[in-house]
Structure 1
Amino acid sequence: MTPALSVLDLVPVRTDQTTGDAVQASLALARLADELGYTRYWLAEHHNMPAVAATNPPVLMALMASATRRIRVGSGGVMLPNHAPMVVAEQFALLEAAFPGRIDLGIGRAPGTDPVTRYVLRDGASDAMGDSAVDRFPDHVDNVLAMMDTTGVSIALGGRRHELHATPAATSVPAIWLLGSSDYSARLAAEKGLPYVFAHHFAGSAADTRAAIDLYRSGFRPSDQLAEPRTFLTVNASVAETREEAERQALPQLLTMLRLRTGAPLTAQQLVEEAEKEEVPEAHQGLLDAMRRRWVIDAPAAARERIAALAGEYGVDEVMVNPVGGAHVGDPVDRAPGREQTLRLLAAVD
């Protein structure tokens, strides 16, 4: 069975782009995904990274939803410990009101940044026993769910009850997903009866993905939100007319991820020609090759077959693609031709 396809976007910033250029390129990519029939378009949350402009999913979601007609738009995800639950509830209730039936709230527990930036984001908020926002993550998820309910929520404070509403007159709520790259969120999503996505595109091994999905499915408890387990797969993909060109276009993102995993200084994402001039230390070549094997990097027919095989292997009917195809010298700065090509070729029918 051919799985439904969706898109994950980190709004990458290349060496030849400004932030504004990168946002325009992502808007063009979202319009294309909408036209091609992709199911959903999710925006990540990362901070203080020279190659990533996806710092604020709700703002980006408003832009993408306004520029598209039918595709679901969501966060992949909002890193909840960085934010007050009430603020997240208000933002997503308002997005759902503006674009009813098209909004997904994906919630993550990781910081999405380095320790110093995390400290600044949270205004130094932590306690002597550790990171209180992370420790209280399950409660904060419950708070977001309760405050976004169309009937609102009542809380007791100072001997009185107070009514809270994320927005005054909601008629629907966003779909809520828990995201994770460890078994923590798998257990929590199963316990709360919520949809769950494991970060297969980022995780260490196929075994990690299998373990997390199996844990979620085996422990799932039906809820008002969901009767049966629901999950999908995420993959990095670079697709071109030939495998050789797909490998060339994947190289800038591969080198970015290599720097991230080895602690090397991060830079704006290189153009293909810049990346080809870089020498990879012999000690890091194995890690680079392992990432390359894990990603979908191929010509169209083989790439579609690989994605279908992955969907079958993990028992999912949807695959979310992070299109990582890089740009060449001379490409327009307000477009991402390599990323657009990946979406077109994956959506094509033989």
Structure 2
Amino acid sequence: MTAISVLDLVPVRSDQTTADALAATLALARVADEVGARRYWLAEHHNMPAVAATNAPLLMALVAAATSRVRVGSGGVMLPNHSPLVVAEQVALLEAAYPGRVDVGIGRAPGADPVTGHLLRRGATGDGVDTFDADVATLASLVRPDGVDVRVGSSTYPLRATPRAVSTPQLWLLGSSTYSAQLAGRLGLPYVFAHHFAGRGTAEAVALYRRSFQPSPELAEPRTIAVANVAVAATEDGARRLALPQVRSMWRLRSGLTLEPQELVEDAEATPLPAAADEGAAALTSSWVVGDPDQAATQLRALADVVGTDEIMLQPIAGATRGTPADRSPAREQTLRLVAEALA
């Protein structure tokens, strides 16, 4: 059996407010809990009209409160935007409230445009990437119950993310490059490959991670997950229709155009992409899993074999048709249900 997990960017459709998008995410999280998904992770993106996932720890708290079993996590916290101590305090509190259910996926990308990223770092020079390796190691130490001891002159200063921790959130490193694969291996952390937007190099990155892996207090052996964009419906044509708004959104993003709230399916059909965009859109979606349940199960199992894992993380990308309740995303919920059934 291939286990499934979920990555959610909290997409905002043209017919939704932020409150609607959050309600739809909580409904989707309850479905994930119901079908036995292993994890439900929330992304971090900033200043994007189509994405409401700006604060992963806050969203994790909302999802954890709305579910009873699924592990909640960040996919990921973009560490260059934050102090490792602040992140450690946030996730330590979550772990205290929901013991054994908290993951912390750490990413190196800013998740924002340059101006927004600069403001997130309070105007600090640089992009924060140059200290990423050290910041990940610091965060890994801070979330342990014993914390760290900081040397201040001739004295030692104890630093704890929370005073009486009895369990520890699980750290994961996210990436789509050889750099992240090597770092995850060197630090002995589990590794998540962003197959959903990299689309290539998955096998190479995972192999490099396994070769680089050094056991750590967190992990004795390599552990991997790959993320895939997925839209599933009763028929392949139906799934491709539901994926169309996401195709158009990603084409706009890769073309440097403004990323507006996600269109409804009918609106996407009414204004096709330029003919010259067909080749680019085809390349963009070549690694996506779009089809009927049997097709999806076959492709997801093949991806799990490439990665060498029993778990695949889905980003459900199925759009909404006109008349869909604003506070729900039925096609995304259906994708989860159909995949879970097909892989059982």
TM-score in same-fold range (> 0.5): yes
Structure 1 residues 118-157: aligned runs within 5 Å: 118-126=117-125, 130-131=126-127, 133-157=128-152
1:193 corresponds to 2:192: no
Question: Please, what TM-score do these two structures have when normalized by structure 2?
Answer: 0.97
The TM-score with structure 1 as length reference comes to 0.96
1:24-77: CA deviations, max 9, x gaps? 000000001001001100000000001000000000000000000110000000
Q: C-alpha separation between the residues in 2 aligned to 1:342 and 1:48?
A: 28
Point out 4+ residue stretches in structure 1 off by more than 6 angstroms: none
Show CA shifts across 1:135-184 (max 9, x none).
00111111111111101211012432211110111001100000012111
Q: Which residue pairs with 1:7 in the alignment?
A: 6
What secondary structure is seen at the aligned counterpart in 1 of 2:41? Answer: strand
Give the drift of 1:289: 1.2
* CA–CA separation in structure 2 for the residues paired with 1:209 and 1:304: 18
Gap regions ≥5 residues in structure 1? none
Distance in 2, Cα, partners of 1:299 & 1:306: 11
Partner of 1:136, secondary structure, is helix
Query: In 2, distance between residues paired with 1:23 and 1:332?
Result: 13
- Aligned-residue CA RMSD in angstroms? 1.1
Residue 67 of structure 2 aligns to which amino acid in structure 1?
Answer: T
| Aligned partner (choices 168, 176, 179) of residue 181 of structure 1 | 176
Identical residues among aligned pairs (%):
58
Task: For 1:73-112, list aligned pairs within 5 A.
Answer: 73-112=72-111
CA offsets per residue over residues 217-276 of structure 1, 9 Å max, x none? 111111111111100111000000111110010000111111111111210000000111
Q: Is the 8 A contact 2:224 2:308 kept in 1?
A: no
SS of the residue 1:322 aligns to: strand
Distance 1:139 1:293 in 2: 36
Q: What do the CA deviations read for 1:298-322 (whole angstroms, capped 9, x no partner)?
A: 0111111211122123322110000
* Structure 1 counterpart SS, 2:286: helix
Hey, what's the Cα distance between the residues in 2 that align with 1:188 and 1:311?
22
| Structure 2 runs not aligned, ≥5 long | none
Distance 1:167 1:333 in 2: 39
Letter of the aligned partner of 1:11 in structure 2?
V
Give the letter aligned to residue 60 of structure 1: L
Quote the residue 1:316 is aligned against: 309
Which amino acid counterpart does residue 334 of structure 2 have in structure 1? Q
The amino acid of 1:332's aligned partner reads P
Counterparts in 2 of 1:156-167, with a 5 A limit? 156-167=151-162
Q: Matched residue of 1:348: which SS?
A: helix
Equivalent position amino acid for 1:192 in 2: L
Q: Could you say what secondary structure the match of 1:201 adopts?
A: helix
1:66 to 2:70 alignment: no
- Aligned counterpart, 1:36: 35
Instruction: Look up the match of 1:172.
Output: 167
Q: 3-state DSSP class of the match of 2:156? A: strand
